[in-house]
Amino acid sequence: MRQIRSFLTDGRLSVVVIAAILIIDQIIKIAVKTNMTLGESIHITDWFFINFIENNGMAYGITFINKLVLSLFRIVLICFIGRYIFLTVKSNHRIGYVLCLSMVLAGAAGNIIDSMFYGLVFDASTPFSVADFVPFGCGYSSFLHGKVVDMFYFPLIVTAWPDWMPIWGGDRFVFFSPVFNFADACISVGVVLLLIFYRKELETIGETLFPKKKAEKNGQKTNHYD
């Protein structure tokens, strides 16, 4: 056990977590894309469906940002988080904090893989045909313009608004209607855990990324007290 722990350092454990999430995410997405038509839904339970959709936007199908801008933003975010994880591992830290950051990084990377390569290696999914692999560069879109594959749908409550309610009266209401993927789930879980358990660490992000400024700040405090 000690030998395993000495080999599996926090940095290596972070890499293992990131790799595992990416592999699971891509296996699920490729399985869905190559076996289901666009819009096809598989009933698992009344509150859980595999519902194949694609989107150009952020997590849970948000689409208010230009596709290219969003893809570039994700790449910058991945580089930022990766750099921060590297610096955090080399400083005093809690392993849970590193693992939560790794989940967020892996989730962002999982979706950017779709944007970067799916348009190059798949033909288009349609409501009438299943997508197939094609020669690299002969797919349905260009680099960074691929669509993100989503599939998990959890309509936990399906009902209707009361008739007396203005505007929405009588309309169908679904509690938790977004369709999302494994990468989205990892991002959400990672962020929630960070906000609940690691707020103190989050407050020191700037000091970790810019240690010189931290040293200057501490020096100014020392001079002040002198």
Active site residues: 150, 184
Q: How many CB atoms lie within 10 A of CB 223?
A: 8
149-179 CB burial, b ≥16 within 10 A, e <16: bbbbbbeeeeeeeeeeeeeeeeeeeeeeeeb
CB 87 within 8 A of CB 93: no
By C-alpha distance, which of 40, 76, 62 is closest to 180? 62
